[in-house]
């Protein structure tokens, strides 16, 4: 019976240097040849899903941590931050001298000084991920698609990420934006590097339900693959939840199965383990 497979991108499908393992590319193509459907399920917006990922032959995507659902080019669901909410966010962040970027399917739009301020932040983020070249990595390497000087009052936003000068910035965002979903990333709790704001009520699991309803499919035929805390609800929701060996302890503790790391053929090995594909000879 064909399965529906949901795969997180960063740390699961690709490593944190945006490298797609050849074995993962092979596994997805082989799974689709076997009649399975494969979707990425990511915090990225569509503008951050580069052509080399679509070239794998994906059936579609869930983006913005659940705000956007697409099946073979058809938009199934898209929940946006309103223009009024977006203006409130931008004005609040500028008023606090916090650098940020706006995440839209039409592009990533950065505040004036984001590149300068984000350089040491992204280097620290890379250090935490164990990258050897962390001290020399640039913002342009991580966000090659970033647009500077673009319109910041927008009506096409999936979410907004901003640099935390202190954890209090996140706590204050919770009070300031009760109509939105505040979160953090780049570290757990008070060592988080970024705050973010998205549409209230969205989750990857909720987005999966929208897609399954559209497809007329059953949750019993689903697999989910992830590496981070944000993926836990997706792994809990799907019939089989698989954590990457290079992922965090929290998601590995709750997963149905822990495969190898993203750079150690983890996706391919799990596909073989569950009979989604045959091992290569």
Both 94 and 180 in one domain: the answer is yes
pLDDT band at 127 (very low <50, low <70, confident <90, very high): confident
Give the least confident one: 9-23, 64-78, 89-103, 266-280.
Answer: 9-23
pLDDT tens string 260-276: 999 999 999 999 999 99
Last residue of a domain, one of 167, 199, 231: 199
Mean pLDDT along residues 122-132? 84
pLDDT more than 90, % of the chain: 86
Average model confidence (pLDDT) across the chain = 95
pLDDT tens string 182-206: 999 988 789 999 999 999 999 999 9
Mean pLDDT along residues 68-84? 97
Q: 119: domain CATH number? A: 3.30.1240.10
Mean pLDDT along residues 5-25? 93
281 within a domain of the structure (yes/no): no
pLDDT at position 31 is 98
Both 93 and 191 in one domain: the answer is yes
Range of the domain at 103: 83-199
pLDDT at position 18 is 83
Both 162 and 185 in one domain: the answer is yes
Bridge-based pairing state of the strands 240-243 and 222-226: parallel
pLDDT at position 13 is 97
pLDDT band at 281 (very low <50, low <70, confident <90, very high): confident
Both 54 and 91 in one domain: the answer is no
Both 72 and 209 in one domain: the answer is yes
Residue 130 has pLDDT above 80, yes or no: no
Q: Which two tokens stand for residue 56?
A: 């794998």
pLDDT tens string 86-111: 999 999 999 999 999 999 999 999 99
Count: domains in the chain: 2
Both 101 and 162 in one domain: the answer is yes
Q: 32: domain CATH number? A: 3.40.50.1000
């Amino acid at each position: 019976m064909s399965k529906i497979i949901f795969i997180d991108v960063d740390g699961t499908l690709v490593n944190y240097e945006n490298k797609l393992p050849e074995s993962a590319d092979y596994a997805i193509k082989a799974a689709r040849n076997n009649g399975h459907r494969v979707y990425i399920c990511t915090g990225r917006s569509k503008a951050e899903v580069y052509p080399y990922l679509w070239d794998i032959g994906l059936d579609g995507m869930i983006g913005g941590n659940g705000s956007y659902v697409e099946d073979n080019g058809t938009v199934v669901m898209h929940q946006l931050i309103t223009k009024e909410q977006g203006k409130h966010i931008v004005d609040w962040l500028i008023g606090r001298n916090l650098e940020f970027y706006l995440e839209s399917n039409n592009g990533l739009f950065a505040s004036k000084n984001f590149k300068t301020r984000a350089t040491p932040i992204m280097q620290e983020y890379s250090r935490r991920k164990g990258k050897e070249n962390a001290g020399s990595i640039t913002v342009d390497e991580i966000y090659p698609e970033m647009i500077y000087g673009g319109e910041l009052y927008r009506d096409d936003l999936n979410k907004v990420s901003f640099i935390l000068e202190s954890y209090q910035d996140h706590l204050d965002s919770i009070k300031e934006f009760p109509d939105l979903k505040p979160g953090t990333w780049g570290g757990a709790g008070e060592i988080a590097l970024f705050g973010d704001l998205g549409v209230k009520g969205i989750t990857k699991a909720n987005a999966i339900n929208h897609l399954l309803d559209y497809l007329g499919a059953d949750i019993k035929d689903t697999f989910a693959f992830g590496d981070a805390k944000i993926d836990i609800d997706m792994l809990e929701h799907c019939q089989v939840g698989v954590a990457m060996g290079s992922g965090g302890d929290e998601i590995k503790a709750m997963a149905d199965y822990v495969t190898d790391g993203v750079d150690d053929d983890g996706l391919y090995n799990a596909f073989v383990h569950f009979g989604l594909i045959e091992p290569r000879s």
